[in-house]
């Protein structure tokens, strides 16, 4: 492995005061959550028990038609998230907030590990598996309190609102759904921020709005770093590619950056 890009990326991070990190499923792999577009990593291309692709099972149209099917797999994702703990990479990013002028994390993941690590400037693009709401009356529920944090065996699905008996769902973006307006507003805020460097960790950049973070940096002449053991769409746009897993990269790049 060529160490020069790593050394250059390390120096770049050391000198930067305003940083944007874009994270995907790869950052949580070292926490025991399999990588699958940030939603749990349960099938990796294989069909579900219901004979359909996981993208279809976890889609907005499927939830509207058969919420019990979507909830079956949402529950599995919730259980995977519950059993995980923040790893060195999550902790590294949270710690940088204490030593830099401005650090933001934009994550595709719904596992909540950035929250638990202490990251404050956080945009959860696809939502959070533990934030629930009723689709009819908008009543809010906390999955940790109301569903036992997904720890128990499957109960009657879908969960029903105790106020109006409407269907309850996690506040996450299902396949085929639009991003919430609050996320789009956050994107606009980030687009107006003069970051010294933009870093991607563990994301393949399959969504255009994730790639746009690197494209934005390039327009402003700012360097970009892609941390990923594989070559992805993000790598092609990166100034430097660090071919390491997230936790290992945090150890290597964070030695003089905290």
Question: In 16-102, which residue ranges form alpha helices assigned H by DSSP?
Answer: 54-57, 60-65, 67-82, 88-96
| Distance separating alpha carbons of residues 75 and 80, to the nearest angstrom | 9
Both tokens of 155, joined, read 């109960």
- Apex CA 41: angle with CA 39 and CA 42, to 5°? 110
| Distance separating alpha carbons of residues 93 and 105, to the nearest angstrom | 8
| Distance separating alpha carbons of residues 89 and 11, to the nearest angstrom | 18
Helix (H) or strand (E) holding 132: strand 127-134
Q: Which residues contact 71 (CB under 8 A, 6 or more apart)?
A: 157, 158, 159, 169
* Of 90, 126, 128, 241, catalytic: 126
| Distance separating alpha carbons of residues 43 and 49, to the nearest angstrom | 10
Active-site residue flag, 126: yes
Helix %, strand %, coil % of the chain (to 5): 40, 20, 40
Both tokens of 91, joined, read 């902790």
Active site residues: 126
């Amino acid at each position: 492995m060529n160490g020069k890009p790593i050394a250059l990326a390390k120096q770049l991070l050391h000198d930067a005061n305003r940083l944007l990190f874009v994270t995907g499923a790869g950052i949580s792999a070292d926490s025991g959550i399999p990588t699958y577009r940030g939603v749990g990593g349960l099938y990796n291309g294989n069909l579900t028990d219901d004979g359909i692709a996981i993208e279809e099972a976890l889609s907005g149209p499927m939830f509207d038609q058969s919420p019990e099917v979507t909830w079956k797999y949402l529950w599995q994702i919730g259980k995977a998230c519950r059993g995980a703990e923040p790893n060195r990479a999550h902790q590294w990013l949270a710690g940088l907030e204490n030593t830099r002028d401005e650090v933001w994390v934009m994550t595709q993941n719904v596992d909540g590990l950035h929250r638990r690590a202490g990251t404050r400037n956080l945009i959860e693009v696809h939502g959070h598996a533990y934030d629930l709401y009723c689709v009819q009356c908008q009543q809010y529920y906390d999955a940790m309190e109301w569903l036992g944090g997904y720890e128990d065996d499957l109960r009657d699905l879908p969960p029903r609102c105790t106020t109006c008996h409407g269907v309850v769902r996690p506040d996450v973006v299902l396949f085929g759904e639009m991003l919430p307006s609050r996320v789009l507003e956050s994107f606009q805020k980030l687009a107006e921020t003069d970051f010294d460097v933009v870093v991607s960790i563990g994301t393949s950049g399959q969504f255009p709005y994730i790639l746009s973070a690197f494209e934005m940096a390039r327009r402003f002449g700012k360097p970009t770093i892609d941390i990923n053991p594989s070559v992805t769409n993000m790598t092609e746009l990166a100034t430097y590619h660090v071919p390491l897993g997230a936790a290992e990269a945090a150890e290597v790049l964070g030695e003089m950056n905290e």
